[in-house]
Amino acid sequence: MKVLCNLLLIFTLSTNFSFAQTDSSGYLKVDDDKIFYETAGNGPVIVFIHDGLVHSEIWESQFSFFSKDHMVVRYDRRGYGKSSAATGNFSNKDDLHKLFSHLKIDNACLIAMSSGGRLAIDFTLQYPGKISSLVLVGAVVDGFPYTQHFFTRGGHLPSGLKTMEQRIAYYIFDDPYEIYIENKKAKQKADRLLKKYPPKRHHGSTKAKQSQSRNKDGTNPETAKPAYQRLNEIKIPTLILVGEFDIPDVHAHAGAINAGIKNSRREIISHSGHLIPLEQPMIVNNKVKEFLDKLSKDQ
């Protein structure tokens, strides 16, 4: 028995992943706010980070699929899902670090989409030892520019959208890039998820906002470089997924990320817009599984 325990200890220490056995949900108290999280399964750790529209349940298919042989974690950033709206200035990067500490995660694969991908890149640059691999889905990167086409959605974005409900309806049903126009099922699912938990406006005695990790010129105040100019510092395996019909700016960001991270691979997901995990869940699952299985074999 002692020999077996020693072998297990050696195996655990030699891997690049954290291992844990858990199946729970809860709230992480941060300042005056609370962040909702869920965990399931056991094995190498995967942390899912949602985008800037839909909360963590967008990962439902992936959360279930990978919990069979991983410890999976998903959480709602402040202002999304079951998490509270921010009552003061905050940092998504610091929130993620506190979640790692709270769940005793030493090392994980980050699977993140859109603005969540930007957060994953920033987090990896600041805490490189904590991340074993990256899967970036329709991700953007700090410091890389956007065109006017992005802000006007190619001229499709109406100027009179005042309420959150109007904005949600536009992005789900009318925007040509968010969800592939022919995927009615994905549109209906996104609508259900956002009606269940629409994004919350930050509130409080002070105007709550996310702390900026860059100066006005896009540079990092600590390194004097924007994140996209630091991508070469990321040495871990990285898979980049982009929807075929996503907006051109996201494709441009994906190209910049692919060029900047030496050990990265970019793939285009057919018949998909921006919300790939909802639109093509099984393709995403298979692509990520293939990526992680190869990393496991190479170790």
CATH of the domain at 21: 3.40.50.1820
1-14, pLDDT tens digit by residue? 443 344 333 333 33
45-60, pLDDT tens digit by residue? 999 999 999 999 999 9
- What values do phi and psi take at 186, rounded to 5? -65, -40
pLDDT at residue 210, as a whole number: 58
Domain coverage including residue 132: 2-298
pTM of the model: 0.87
pLDDT at residue 218, as a whole number: 41
Residues 141 and 162: beta-carbon distance below 8 Å: no
> Rounded to whole angstroms, what are the CA distances from 174 to 77, 212, 262?
26, 31, 37
DSSP per position, 268-293: EETT--S-HHHHSHHHHHHHHHHHHH
Domain count, the chain: 1
Residues 80 and 197: beta-carbon distance below 8 Å: yes
Output the six-digit token pair for 82: 């079951």
Helix (H) or strand (E) holding 8: helix 2-14
Please tell me which residue, 208 or 153, carries the higher pLDDT value. Answer: 153
